[in-house]
Amino acid sequence: MMLNSNTWNRIRYSLYRPVYDIIDGYFRQKRKASIESLNLKAGDKVLILGAGTGLDLPLLPNDVEITAIDITPAMVKACRQKGEQLGLNITTEVMDGSNLSFESNSFDFVILHLILAVIPDPIGCITETERVLKPGGVCTIMDKFVAPGKKAGVVRKFVNIFTEMIATSIDRDVDELIAHTALEKISHQKLSSIFWLVQAKKPD
């Protein structure tokens, strides 16, 4: 079995489910900064791609239309329950983030938190994000990337062998991924040593 595959992701994130919220609590402030910068308005259609257990949900206003997807059924179930508890207008589905079933130009915003460094096909994921965004729509990306204009060094590539087996890649270049689309990068902010917050807009 490939260790960077949808099958492996389903297995490992199903196993991580009981402790996922505890571990991922570290990222709350990063998620909050990402979502607040979108200035969401009532009625906006928002897609959370790789939603996990729904840790973004408490940070979203209750007057937007939320669609949340994940490849792992256990995560989607937890996300749906959390959305219902919060009284949100939410639809959840088990879906591959690099092969979305939504029509083109469906969403005003797409949230990609801790997904582009995990998903086996990040190019497919970002191109699908571009496709389902409405013209003028924005995607917000928070994840582990190499610094702009830099390449992963030998040590980082070596460590990546192990981090990729456990959970995530740490050697991906978000600019290289965005370059496969017509998305226009509008911000690129460093959050910590390896975490970056990037936002890109689909041309009108």
Q: Look up the CATH number of the domain holding residue 188.
A: 3.40.50.150
- Assessment of whether the complete model's pTM goes beyond 0.85: no
Residue 14 is given by DSSP the state H
How many helices and strands in the chain, by DSSP H and E?
A: 6, 7
How many domains is the chain built from?
1
| Residue range of the domain that includes 169 | 6-201
If you write DSSP's letter for every residue of 141-166 in order, what string do you get?
Answer: EEEE-PPTT----HHHHHHHHHHHHH
- Tens-digit pLDDT profile for the chain (204 aa)? 344 566 655 555 555 555 555 556 667 888 999 999 999 999 999 999 999 999 999 999 999 999 999 998 988 999 999 999 999 999 999 999 999 999 999 999 999 999 998 898 999 999 999 999 999 999 999 998 988 877 766 666 656 555 565 566 667 899 999 999 999 999 999 988 788 999 999 999
Residue 1 placed within a domain:
no
CA distance 182 to 106: 17
